[in-house]
């Protein structure tokens, strides 16, 4: 899957284009807790304030709506404290939905919840993975391809399955640092041709491949990566990222993007950030029905209201 022709290399370009209106699926952290440790950030003995987590999550949802994006809600379920991290629940390409199969049993129930949501939303092609994959945590759509991670959660067999089901070529990248256990903690897709990433999170062959594919990528420094700065959401112009990643915000600004800082320290206690909380729902007609190139900061109209809001 990694043997790409030279023509697949993305050429350098001067800067980002206009933002595009997106459709996102979020889940309120009404049952959020750190009850187990399945990544290095989680410590069940460290207190978690659910009310604070909910307040921070609401601020994130508000920012996304203020940028003109549609926010849909997945109903939280008791006994699934990590449901707030909807990015891990599925990958959606052109209306095709590949629902995740989680590695750890503590999160297994989230798959069924995601499948029910997509079926209720009348997506015609919904399939639950047979191989272990953790959705957009490890499968990031990057224009004409999917960047896919292995090493901690998602298997390389899942990469082959994703390529068959979702219809895009998959590029496999091995993660090596357990702090960056999902691809979306070590790399962010900025638009169809640009990414930002932390090189030290990847095995040497993956670094070489990323340099080849994205010669003009933004390279994060260690402090910004440790602040979960790469767990970011981009609409092609605005980049929503943790406020603590100040250096990365400056790099984005210098590259012509508009950094939009948010603060989610309570969710970071579970190893999550802005992107972890957001699953992009890509319809067969584009990023969102009625997608609008040239998006500007604005409040949503009547058609943008989230369903099931509390």
CA-CA distance, 233 to 253, in Å (whole number)? 15
277 given a catalytic annotation: no
> How far apart are the two ends of the chain, measured CA to CA in Å?
43
Contact 72, 25 (CB under 8 A): yes
For residues 150-181, one letter each, b for 16 or more C-beta atoms within 10 angstroms of the residue's C-beta and e for the rest, the string is bbbbbbbebbebbbebbebebbbbbbebebbb
- Map the chain to HEC letters: CCCCCHHHCCCCCCCCCCEECCEEEECCCCCCCCCCCCCCCCCCCCCCCHHHHHHHHHHHHHHHHHCCCEEEECCCCCCCCCCCCHHHHEEEECCEEEECECCCHHHCHHHHHHHHHHHHCCCCEEEECCCCECHHHCEEEECCEEEEEECCCCCHHHHHHHHHHHCCCEEEEEECCCCCCCHHHCEEECCCCCEEECHHHECHHHHHHHHHHCCCCEECCHHHHHCCCCCCEECCCEEEEECCCHHHHHHHHHCCCEEEEECCHHHHCCCCCCHHHCEECCECCECCCCCCEEECCCCCCHHHCCCCCC
Nearest to 299 by CA among 28, 74, 27, 70: 70
Tokens for 230? Answer: 């790469």
Q: Which of 69, 114, 159, 182 is catalytic?
A: 182
- Residue 69 is among the residues annotated as catalytic for this protein: no
Catalytic residue among 114, 159, 238, 276: 276
Catalytic residues: 182, 276
């Amino acid at each position: 899957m990694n043997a790409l022709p030279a023509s697949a290399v993305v050429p350098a370009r001067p800067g980002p284009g206009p933002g595009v209106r997106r459709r996102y699926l979020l889940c309120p952290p009404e049952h959020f807790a750190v009850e187990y440790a399945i990544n290095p950030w989680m410590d069940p003995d460290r207190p978690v304030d659910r009310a604070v987590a909910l307040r921070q999550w609401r601020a994130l949802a508000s920012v996304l709506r203020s940028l003109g994006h549609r926010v849909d809600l997945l109903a939280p379920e008791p006994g699934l404290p990590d449901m707030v991290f909807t990015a891990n629940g599925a990958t959606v390409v052109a209306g095709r939905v590949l629902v995740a199969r989680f590695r750890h049993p503590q999160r297994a129930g989230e798959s069924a919840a995601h499948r029910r949501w997509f079926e209720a939303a009348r997506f015609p092609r919904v399939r639950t993975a047979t191989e272990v994959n953790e959705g957009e945590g490890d499968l990031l759509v990057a224009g004409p391809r999917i960047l896919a991670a292995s090493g901690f959660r998602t298997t390389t067999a899942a990469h082959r399955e994703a390529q068959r089901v979702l219809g895009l070529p998959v590029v496999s990248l091995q993660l090596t640092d357990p702090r960056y256990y999902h691809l979306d903690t070590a790399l962010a897709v900025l638009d169809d041709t640009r990414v930002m990433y932390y090189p030290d999170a990847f095995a040497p062959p993956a670094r070489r491949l990323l340099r080849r594919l994205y010669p003009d990528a933004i390279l994060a420094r260690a402090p910004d990566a440790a602040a979960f700065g790469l767990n970011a959401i981009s609409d092609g112009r605005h980049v929503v990222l943790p406020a603590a990643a100040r250096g990365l915000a400056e790099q984005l600004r210098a590259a012509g993007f508009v950094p939009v800082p948010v603060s989610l320290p309570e969710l970071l206690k579970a190893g999550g950030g802005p992107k972890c909380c957001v699953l992009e729902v890509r319809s067969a007609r584009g990023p969102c029905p009625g997608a609008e190139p040239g998006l500007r900061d604005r409040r949503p109209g009547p058609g943008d209201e989230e369903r099931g809001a509390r």
